[in-house]
Structure 1
Amino acid sequence: MIMWHPGRDGRNLQARASAAVDTAAHGLGFTLDATQRAAADRLALLAGQLAAAPAGAHLLHRRHHVRGVYLWGPPGRGKSWLADTWHAALPQGFAYRVHFHDFFRRLHDSAFRHRGEARAVDAAMAELVGRARVVCFDEFHVHDPGDAMLVTRLLRELLDRRVTLVATSNYAPDALLPNPLFHHLFAPAIALLHEHLDIVEVAGPRDYRTLAAPAAAAGFRAGALVSPDDAASLAAFGLAAPGPDEAADLHLGRRALRTRAVRDGELWFDYAQLCETPTGTADYLALADRFATWVVGGIPAWLACSSDGRQRLASVVDVAYDRDIRLFLTGPDHPGRPPAGAPTPADYTRTASRLAQLRDSAELPTATR
């Protein structure tokens, strides 16, 4: 991260942010498409505008509020990469970047620590955001009507603090909370997004996540879809199937989840225990804080999974991707992937784009299996 110095560094921040994106793209061996270029230019302009605003003015004067940016488009078009690269070019402490629903978890935990205070949410917000001038939300999406009012309040709190927002999403603002029965609940938040952010579509022709993973892939891309679900298939990926005596309860707060094994940095679950029981994104985020490798085994054929189980499995994939967890999904029939025409969870196009980055045991040479 670059340390902030007033004067020349501030005046050059727009150019530095633009150059950072070009340098990163060159290092990865590709050229920005037209929609990525437009998004990169708008983010660079934002960096310059933030640098030009007096330090601390966003906390004191409405006239110094800097308009944010909302990047949206299909999965795999580089929205998160653009925002990450831009964020890395900013001065240290200038921006707070977080996965959108991870922010909710952290806010809840912080508000709990401040319980009993007159303005617990304000104290929690100050603890999380500090004096950051920008909050960057990745994967901004709303499907649950119960979240609609919470998200609206969150946006209002941040904007009242004169914080500039940057967000990435697979949805245009007007398409958030798409269920027509509940969409009206989110209309106030959508109006806030249009009022305070420039909406930039990033919808180039290529899904970059479908490109072949480098041979030395690490993190999420070092995981795999493993079929059949047996010791030999697992061994091809350096995994040793746990024995019955390794089964153990893993405690998350007051809850206990049954695991196949808990090893040093490595966590093994049966699909039925992880996805067909009432777990949720908050649980997966907590697990991501503690384990760098997950193996979810015994995944049945897609149509044999419940709709809730499929949704939870998609959430597992999304959290593993966002936290760069090495994820292995094992089962007898293309684990985690639906047959043509089968029902899929909300946002499954994003999940499918991410699964495409994992190695597939069915595509490995026979000698390596």
Structure 2
Amino acid sequence: MRDLPAGHPTRSPALDEGDRPSRSVRDAVGQDAARRGFSLDPGQAPAVEALDALAARLAEPSPGGLNGLYLWGSVGRGKTWLMDVFHATVGRLALGSGRGSGSGRGPGTRAVRVHFHDFLRRLHGERFHRGSIDAALDAILGDADLVCFDEFHVHDAGDAMLVARAVRTLDARGVRVVLTSNYPPSGLMPSPAYHHLFVPTIDLLTARLDVVEVGGHRDHRRAPSEDVAGFRGGSFVWPATDARLAAAGLDRPGPAEATTVRIGSREHPVLAVRGDVVWLGFGHWCAGRTAVSDVLHLAERFGTVVLDGVPALGAQAPDTGQRFANLVDVLCDGDVPLHVLAHQDPEETLRRHGEEGVALDVERTASRLALLRRLGPVALGR
């Protein structure tokens, strides 16, 4: 997806009555799986059937708002892939990009696909500048009446209130949605101190959407792959000796190369900028006061990101681990190559999942880091 500008929803053309896709989502999923060289997992079958049924009824009037699907399951089960095939099929495999400019409804279905990290960033910003949730959603989603949200999650109390208002607004507008998530609806906003505040939104989602688990026992991201483009073109290097850096095609910058990257009104320190490659220090970008929006800026501006000095997350503050997880999420979704230079192997880096001091989404992070080439002292290679 690197040919699409980060921060812009992916838009499919209108699907009018009598102009439905020439093949079903079920057929499209089977053909795409065959092209990629794998067979469908039985745990994916209920989601395929549900997406196929939704695509078949898109030209019909929606009986109510948010009439769509909530796809959830463990990391690497193919939720994003299935949603993307669905979106491509609805758009007759002719994806476009860009923001809508109005909120009026025309004939047919207009679908957009957004990553939830980016949606939250833009929702905060557009609401601040435009003064209302309605205007913010108009700016982000335009006249879409089907929205595909990838990696829907709610961890932060401030985000939860904003998401709740956005969900109610989309419901009132009669917009259909498809959500993918690592969490069942009841697992959203897991903090015991704030979960009860989000329960009305959870109830609305479960009442309006068909909730389908994408199961199976295999993390498909960990399957061997010859694809080394995009995010997969990165590496996990430990410890980062000159020889291992050279194997990854990297050369450590000297102190004189330290500079800053301006994002908004703030100058962020970086270890080096070499053309479209940016070297980041873990201390500032994960342990410092940075936001997802800062990483999204990097994904838009640079073609490769190197993150240096990554320690074991179990010894770090909870928000440090979450920033690391967010950075991996954003770059993986943007298909930007990431080189992680760590003091220890990936397992030790992410050890103690679920205990105090470790990011909530570290299981997904482990799955995504498994896509990277591993360059360590035991063996070189994936």
Normalised by the size of structure 1, how large is the TM-score?
A: 0.88
After superposition, where does 1:148-227 map in structure 2 within 5 Å? 148-214=160-226, 216-227=227-238
How far 1:4 sits from its partner (Å)?
Answer: 4.5
- Are residues 291 and 142 of structure 1, via their aligned partners in 2, closer, same or farther at CA, if it must alter by over 3 Å? same
How far 1:203 sits from its partner (Å)?
Answer: 1.2
How far 1:347 sits from its partner (Å)?
Answer: 1.8
- Are residues 308 and 72 of structure 1, via their aligned partners in 2, closer, same or farther at CA, if it must alter by over 3 Å? same
Figure out how many residues of one structure are paired with residues of the other and give that number.
Answer: 352
- Are residues 282 and 293 of structure 1, via their aligned partners in 2, closer, same or farther at CA, if it must alter by over 3 Å? same
Q: Distance in 2 between matches of 1:146 and 1:106?
A: 14
After superposition, where does 1:285-300 map in structure 2 within 5 Å? 285-300=296-311
After superposition, where does 1:226-241 map in structure 2 within 5 Å? 226-241=237-252
Asked if structure 2 preserves the Cα contact closer than 8 Å seen for 1:260 and 1:268, the reply is: yes
Q: Give the SS at the match of 1:52.
A: coil
Is residue 49 of structure 2 the alignment partner of residue 41 of structure 1? yes
Q: Distance in 2 between matches of 1:133 and 1:27?
A: 30
Q: Distance in 1 between matches of 2:88 and 2:151?
A: 18
Q: Distance in 2 between matches of 1:252 and 1:31?
A: 44
For 2:79, give the aligned amino acid: K
Q: Distance in 2 between matches of 1:65 and 1:155?
A: 10
How far 1:324 sits from its partner (Å)?
Answer: 1.1
- Are residues 114 and 308 of structure 1, via their aligned partners in 2, closer, same or farther at CA, if it must alter by over 3 Å? closer
Pick aligned residue for 1:9 from 8, 11, 19: 19
Tell me the C-alpha RMSD between the 2 structures.
2.3
How far 1:304 sits from its partner (Å)?
Answer: 4.5
Is residue 126 of structure 2 the alignment partner of residue 100 of structure 1? no
Asked if structure 1 preserves the Cα contact closer than 8 Å seen for 2:147 and 2:176, the reply is: yes
- Are residues 218 and 290 of structure 1, via their aligned partners in 2, closer, same or farther at CA, if it must alter by over 3 Å? same
Q: Distance in 2 between matches of 1:157 and 1:227?
A: 47
Asked if structure 2 preserves the Cα contact closer than 8 Å seen for 1:213 and 1:221, the reply is: no
Report which of the two structures shows the higher radius of gyration computed on alpha carbons. 1
Which residue of 1 is the match for residue 140 of structure 2? 128
How far 1:136 sits from its partner (Å)?
Answer: 0.8
Deviations 1:103-144 (A, max 9, x none): 1212233334435xxxx4322211221221201111111111
Normalised by the size of structure 2, how large is the TM-score?
A: 0.85
Asked if structure 2 preserves the Cα contact closer than 8 Å seen for 1:275 and 1:309, the reply is: yes
For 2:89, give the aligned amino acid: A
How far 1:237 sits from its partner (Å)?
Answer: 1.2
Stretches of structure 1 lacking an aligned partner (at least 5 in a row): none
Q: Distance in 1 between matches of 2:312 and 2:122?
A: 35
Q: Distance in 1 between matches of 2:352 and 2:305?
A: 29
- Are residues 340 and 251 of structure 1, via their aligned partners in 2, closer, same or farther at CA, if it must alter by over 3 Å? closer
Q: Distance in 1 between matches of 2:289 and 2:322?
A: 11
Q: Distance in 2 between matches of 1:364 and 1:89?
A: 44
Q: Distance in 2 between matches of 1:356 and 1:312?
A: 18
Q: Give the SS at the match of 1:167.
A: strand
The structure richer in helix per residue is 1
- Are residues 45 and 66 of structure 1, via their aligned partners in 2, closer, same or farther at CA, if it must alter by over 3 Å? farther
Moved more, 357-366 or 163-172: 357-366
Q: Percent identity?
A: 44
Pick aligned residue for 1:114 from 118, 126, 130: 130
- Are residues 281 and 90 of structure 1, via their aligned partners in 2, closer, same or farther at CA, if it must alter by over 3 Å? same
How far 1:80 sits from its partner (Å)?
Answer: 0.6
- Are residues 46 and 66 of structure 1, via their aligned partners in 2, closer, same or farther at CA, if it must alter by over 3 Å? farther
Q: Distance in 1 between matches of 2:329 and 2:31?
A: 28
